[in-house]
Homo-oligomer: A and B are copies of this chain.
């Protein structure tokens, strides 16, 4: 790759990191309405970055948080690459489990700690800065670049599809790039060729119209908390298999080759247990931990609440109980069908005397990439150049709904190039991004533009 680009990234490393910290200081929590002004500040920060390096840039208003769209299209004859990322972050709570405040970026042991450090501000910023390196040194980019950076990824990307569909022609591209996944392990970079899908919902049970004295009334009315626990418990059998009728009907089974590939990856179960702080791994019978995480569907409660939440005892039959539930999906499972089956199952198994309400959140199907694509080879070479090691092909348990949308709306596949580690605590307290991974990721991104430039242009 261009020696000037490499030298630029090296000599500007500290400034690039400092600029990332500026972005991380903005508490752009999309789920919480009180952070609306912070969402605008984060969008403006990115807008200004693109404007400063000569991109055409627009902050696009939506029904929710704005989308930052930027393009540089001065590489005629070269392919066009669409980079997607998000500037919103998960709520940081529980706050008391953070070593340093989530929106005061702090470096400890070579790691940058902040909410959004790796998911996704830090990762998307590598692509912004690799573009800057090319433009500041070579005065050009090897490919045409389009950036779509949204502010609603953590709350379901409700306004992204409309944006993509309404600008379908302007967004035409040869391939998409998303850095919102992880390396396989330190020293083992990875390309993620599969993602799980997701459906999310909330179930609430309403019992007595107010909390009741558990002595005076207990035993004579259905307790909504007990009834909710009964429903949640019914979701799995003793072997960890989901009991919703039809849940596994469409699941694409893992091929023998995939199971063998997963089995070859280094995986230290004791270290995994220690990292998570659990005494045992546990899940669906008949599958390994990697298979459970990457290729088997789940049904997890993300939060439950009901009745007295304070200290000490309070002797009531609660009036209401609710649980937030997500199912992770694997290829061929249809999100709407799974959510329908879940709702039906809950209604069928609900005790009398409580009213069930079911609220649907977002959902998206799983995704699997074709591992023979030349785009994948180009990415693999760029990563080897920056990280000094060839990436392994892995799947990921999380969901990136936009990958499905890119295929459906723009007709392109997505390169999932994760620069972080899966121990970076994304969505958890003490989220962080290894500083060296930030710099290597930026270098890999810069190399990627050059590698992709050698591939045929199919649009524009």
CA of A350 to CA of B353, assembled, Å: 28
Give the contact stretch, choosing among A1-9, A142-150, A302-310. A302-310
Given contacts A155-B313, A324-B307, contact A211 B427 (CB under 8 A): yes
Contacts of A396 in B (CB 8 A): 215-216
Whether A229 lies near B233 (C-beta < 8 A) is yes
Whether B219 lies near A362 (C-beta < 8 A) is no
Given contacts A301-B306, A302-B313, A302-B314, contact A217 B397 (CB under 8 A): yes
Contact partner of A211 among B235, B310, B315, B429, CB < 8 A? B429
Contact partner of A303 among B212, B235, B318, B399, CB < 8 A? B318
Contacts of A427 in B (CB 8 A): 211-214, 314-316
CA of A161 to CA of B281, assembled, Å: 47
Whether B312 lies near A397 (C-beta < 8 A) is no
The answer, yes or no, to whether A266 is at the interface (CB within 8 Å) is: no
Contacts of A155 in B (CB 8 A): 312-313
Contact partner of A429 among B32, B210, B308, CB < 8 A? B210
Interface size on A, residues (CB 8 A): 100
The answer, yes or no, to whether A68 is at the interface (CB within 8 Å) is: no
Write the chain B residue with the least CB distance to A94: B211
CB distance from A290 to the nearest CB of B (A): 8
Contacts of A317 in B (CB 8 A): 300, 302
Write the chain B residue with the least CB distance to A308: B303
The answer, yes or no, to whether A346 is at the interface (CB within 8 Å) is: no
CA of A230 to CA of B222, assembled, Å: 17
Q: Identify whether the interface residues of A are mostly helix, strand, loop, or mixed.
A: loop
Within 8 A of B (CB), among A86-113: 90-91, 93-94, 97
Write the chain B residue with the least CB distance to A299: B226
CB distance from A358 to the nearest CB of B (A): 14
Whether A293 lies near B90 (C-beta < 8 A) is no
Contact partner of A233 among B234, B292, B296, CB < 8 A? B234
Given contacts A225-B303, A314-B31, contact A282 B328 (CB under 8 A): no
The answer, yes or no, to whether A430 is at the interface (CB within 8 Å) is: yes
Whether A277 lies near B217 (C-beta < 8 A) is no
Residue among A218, A351, A427 having the largest count of chain B Cβ atoms under 10 Å? A218
CA of A433 to CA of B278, assembled, Å: 51
Contacts of A289 in B (CB 8 A): 220
Within 8 A of B (CB), among A398-457: 398-399, 422, 425-430
Contact partner of A218 among B217, B226, B318, B328, CB < 8 A? B328
Whether A305 lies near B302 (C-beta < 8 A) is no
Per-residue 0/1 for A153-192: is the Cβ within 8 Å of any B Cβ (1 yes, 0 no)? Answer: 0011000000000000000000000000010000000000
A-B contact pairs, 6 of them (CB 8 A): A211-B429, A214-B300, A219-B296, A229-B232, A279-B353, A313-B326
- Beyond the given A216-B397, A281-B353, please list 20 additional residue pairs across the A-B interface where CB-CB is below 8 A: A210-B428, A210-B430, A211-B427, A212-B276, A214-B326, A215-B397, A217-B397, A219-B298, A220-B283, A220-B293, A226-B236, A229-B301, A232-B233, A280-B353, A302-B313, A302-B315, A303-B306, A304-B306, A304-B307, A308-B324
